[in-house]
Structure 1
Amino acid sequence: MRDRIFRRGILPIAVVAALSAVAGCSASGDTDSPKGSAAPSGSRAGRVDPRSAAALRAVEQATVRAGSARIESSTAMGGMLSLKTDGALGWSGDQVGTLRITYTGGQLAATMRALSGASMEARLLPDAYYAKVGDTFARRLNGRHWIRYGYGDLATLPGGSGAYLTDQLRTTAPLQPVRLLRACGDVRRVGEETVRGRRTTHYSGTVTPAALTGEDAAGLRKQLEQAGVATETVDIWVDDRGLLVKKAEQGELVGGRMSATAYYRDYGVQVSAARPPAADTADFKELMSTRGS
């Protein structure tokens, strides 16, 4: 069982799915979005109105200054796995944060519950992220309850997914959807809407890797291509301080349709993540090197 779990990358996939939901750059979506909010594909390619472009620049700058936020999200990876995530993330300097990931459905849900119970804690630190497993799986790890994933070590995952997972783990701030909209060349101001009692301005765009432009285009294009994204829609709702209240994405991956919604609040909150005890931690790289044993 342990060999199958690490060979297929099930545990990192589940954690990264949660982080993708809060970061952006997974093909994803939102059943709570108003009908007609998604930008029609190809209808406005290359024509971003100056007012929207300036507003998105201001949103990116405000997000960088805020440095942290509390986040809750839901993600569906086709029929493979769906989950909910809540926690706090900081991006002022090194990425840091703690998330609680709850499995809500999909083919892998039963496997994940067997590994870590109904939910799993994930901690994001500058050098690695840590995932906590339940007692049942810990017995297969000589009693250790945490798995450490060094960012460079994820390249050992099969199928070329390692680089993409690493990029996702390094871009957990709500900056990625804003940068995608700025670079996509196909974004519009939808209008003003109330989200969870807060007045917001809604922006929507259609993203295709080949159409990305600007200084971030090369990196964003690489991430989308590694994820197998051909096209996706990105919607953000921004408050009067220029900060995201909500983000939604929808699209298609090679493995099927994916969807995600994230809500943000309490910007500037103090965020910390303690490193798990070394004696209670197994290293992913070492587990991969001995997976056949």
Structure 2
Amino acid sequence: MLAGVMLCGTAACTSPGGGTRERSAEPEKFHAAPVAAVRKAVEKGAKLTSMSYRINGKVAGQGTVEGKVSVSLRPRAIDMRMTASGGAKRGEFLVRLIGDTAYIGGGERATAALHGKHWLKFRMNGKGPGGAGGFGGMRQQADQDPAAQASLLSQSGDVKKIGEETVDGVKTTHYAGTVAVEKLLKRRNAKGALGAERREKAVERYRALGVHALKLDLWVGPDDRTVKFRERARTVRGPLDLTIHFFDINKPVTVKAPPASDTMDLAQWFKGRGGARI
């Protein structure tokens, strides 16, 4: 069941990088106007307090995924509904995060493992039973940051304006570029609303996936708002290709905890299994 939350945990992942290494070996071409436009969109996105987005594509080792995520940054809350098909892990996976408490819901197998209950509850902070301890993937998922992921495009040496396109009824300008992860690890980030720490977390996530090069696409609306974002790369587990459509920007996000009667606490689950690991 918990493998499901990893699906979007690579929510900042991307498509086959077959030809991307060759491109990264070419001399960098700096295009001032597209870079400036991308940076404006990144700065605006970094200041958002809440958003919702639809995500779909392919994740290495998991098959095809699609879903909807609503995120509040202040206070922190996440409501996620993901579906996976065509891979080893398939079915619907639900995640709710309220502050530092996470709730995970799955299908019939998960319900059977939870003695008829539909949700598993645990703390994101802390070690041992009842804490996120061994669930590093869950923490990564909670820390997903689409704004930070999109910001990496501005650090590409070959950002280009692709053209004008209508996305979800909005007229947008399409920008694209390729980013070498190793260069991002060594490069000092420029100051801005996003902050170096947020960028570094995004870069580290790519590095952990074994990504060498990212192909990033950004569709920006007339108000400098990011309407659509696509990321593609090759990881140690195969190709990834995910697309995100943003909507309900800065609208209230309310996440309710599942009924206590339908929830199994992780510490209680461990106790019932004699400390066995999930």
TM-score, reference length from structure 2: 0.78
Would you say 1:145 and 2:118 are equivalent positions?
yes
Q: 1:44 to 1:177 in 2, by over 3 A?
A: farther
Cα distance, 1:254 vs. partner? 0.6
Match of 2:2 among 12, 17, 21: 12
Partner in structure 2 of residue 273 of structure 1: 255
User: 1:200-219 residue pairs with structure 2 within 5 A?
Assistant: 200-212=172-184, 213-215=187-189, 216=196, 218-219=200-201
The structure with the greater share of residues assigned to helix is: 1
Q: 1:175 to 1:281 in 2, by over 3 A?
A: same
User: 1:122-201 residue pairs with structure 2 within 5 A?
Assistant: 122-152=95-125, 153-157=131-135, 162=136, 166-172=139-145, 174-201=146-173
- Would you say the 8 A contact 2:64–2:87 is kept in 1? yes
Structure 2 runs not aligned, ≥5 long: 126-130, 190-195
Would you say 1:238 and 2:212 are equivalent positions?
no
Match of 2:239 among 257, 271, 278: 257
RMSD (CA atoms): 3.0
Equivalent position amino acid for 2:111 in 1: A
Partner in structure 2 of residue 27 of structure 1: 14
Cα distance, 1:53 vs. partner? 2.9
Partner in structure 1 of residue 45 of structure 2: 63
- Would you say the 8 A contact 1:100–1:122 is kept in 2? yes
Cα distance, 1:196 vs. partner? 2.6
**Residue aligned with 1:268, SS:** coil
CA distance in 2, matches of 1:121, 1:47: 43
Match of 1:97 among 78, 81, 94: 78
Equivalent position amino acid for 2:276 in 1: R
Cα distance, 1:60 vs. partner? 2.1
Deviations 1:91-119 (A, max 9, x none): 3x24323122122322322xxx3xxxxx2
Equivalent position amino acid for 2:67 in 1: T
Aligned length: 258
- Would you say the 8 A contact 2:9–2:138 is kept in 1? no
Greater shift in the superposed pair: 227-236 or 282-291: 282-291
- Would you say the 8 A contact 2:79–2:97 is kept in 1? yes
CA distance in 2, matches of 1:246, 1:104: 23
Cα distance, 1:288 vs. partner? 6.2
Deviations 1:115-171 (A, max 9, x none): xxxx232213221432113455323223332123533454525xxxx2x65234212
Greater shift in the superposed pair: 93-102 or 241-250: 93-102
- Would you say the 8 A contact 2:46–2:148 is kept in 1? no
CA distance in 2, matches of 1:244, 1:224: 21
CA distance in 1, matches of 2:242, 2:69: 16
**Residue aligned with 1:60, SS:** helix
Cα distance, 1:14 vs. partner? 1.9
Cα distance, 1:292 vs. partner? 5.4
